[in-house]
Structure 1
Amino acid sequence: MTGEPEGPDFDVPVGLFEDIEDLKAKLARLTAQVEALTGGDGAEPGEASADEGEAAGGEAAADDAEEEEWQYPPFILLLDPPEYDDELRALIEWVEGVLVPGYLAEPSADARWCHLWWEHPVAIARLHAVWLAWQELTDPASCGYTGPSVWHRDHMDPALRELRGSTGPFAGCVKGEHQIDHRMPGLVPSAWTHAED
């Protein structure tokens, strides 16, 4: 006997203990982030205090250092080039690779779509928000198995209704034509002015 009391003999799967350790490490990281953001420990924003790193253990401290380097992506409209260009390129890949083939049927008067959607700032903003939510809500580790349903209900469906509706940013874009300035006051599209260009 080692002198330590033995715990009850439960038939618990080994994976459960790993899950508990993962949850402890995540909790320690989140606690450190909250304290750093609120200035609760005197650390600069974005820095974890040494006490939390020690409390979480060596492995968790290494994970904290890795987590501190990675930042959640900011909203695209807050970025300047070249970060904006990189984020827009990634957004275009997702929209054209996932959203368009999987969710967008043939455009119509009731469901508009512009093939040059990235030239509409409102579309970029809405689609980027939908993409950020998709990244979070399709990962079972962060949201469980109901995340995709929440993403459809709360993010994708409302955004597409706004974008594709008759008053959305694509209202002036019809099949084969693209009008980015169609909603600007004082700029009335004319067949005569387009013919001269």
Structure 2
Amino acid sequence: MNDWGDDEPGIDAEPFDVDDEPASPRERREPGSIFGVDLGELTSDLVAVSFQKAIRKQVTAVVSQAVEQAVTDALDEDVLDDLRIRVETAADDAVAQQLAAIDDAPEPEETDPPLYYGSVDEFVREYLIGAYRRRIDGQQRVWAAAWWEYDEAVIRLDALWRAWEKLRQDPSTGMSVWWRDHADHHMGVLFSPDGPFAGVKETDENRNKKGEPLPYTAPPEGLFPDERETAA
């Protein structure tokens, strides 16, 4: 008790065992190197980077706070209204430019697929004379094996070929349209005894038997170059 008769407050303390010993320091070893890497140098570099990162974080926080405060102090109500109007104007102009760029963008050009046949001669040789099998007797129907000697025939057959190349791209009615509107019309003119082959000689090379392909003689080399090669 003290002189006033009150007990003095005690001091709380953790129990201490006289046998407790202070923790021993961590074991130290020379860093050395492993797999050719200097552990001491690498660790020093990483510590430096970590220090820079930690300091940068603290500095960034201080700078951001200072800048935010400075901007807040500088932007009074009038300045903020002016800034808002300027930004809205710039945004409207930018949107208008983007929309104008979309409207002015050129339409993508449609490109036709490569030609299936490279020339009218290939079309006649590989397709037409076999597909259009008609009895050529030189009387009711005429045909010239050397069709390429007759200008009108070349023009009509070239038109047939190009129409076929275009209409073959329509898988539904393309071929029906080609036969009805192109092949039957032009071939009827070519077969006519009064057509472009009216003066053809009545020789065996210009005739065939029922069910055989139309007569054909190859044109001079180079007369009908392959247009697929020139396009490439």
Fold similarity call, TM over 0.5: no
Normalized against structure 2, the TM-score is what? 0.38
Normalized against structure 1, the TM-score is what? 0.44
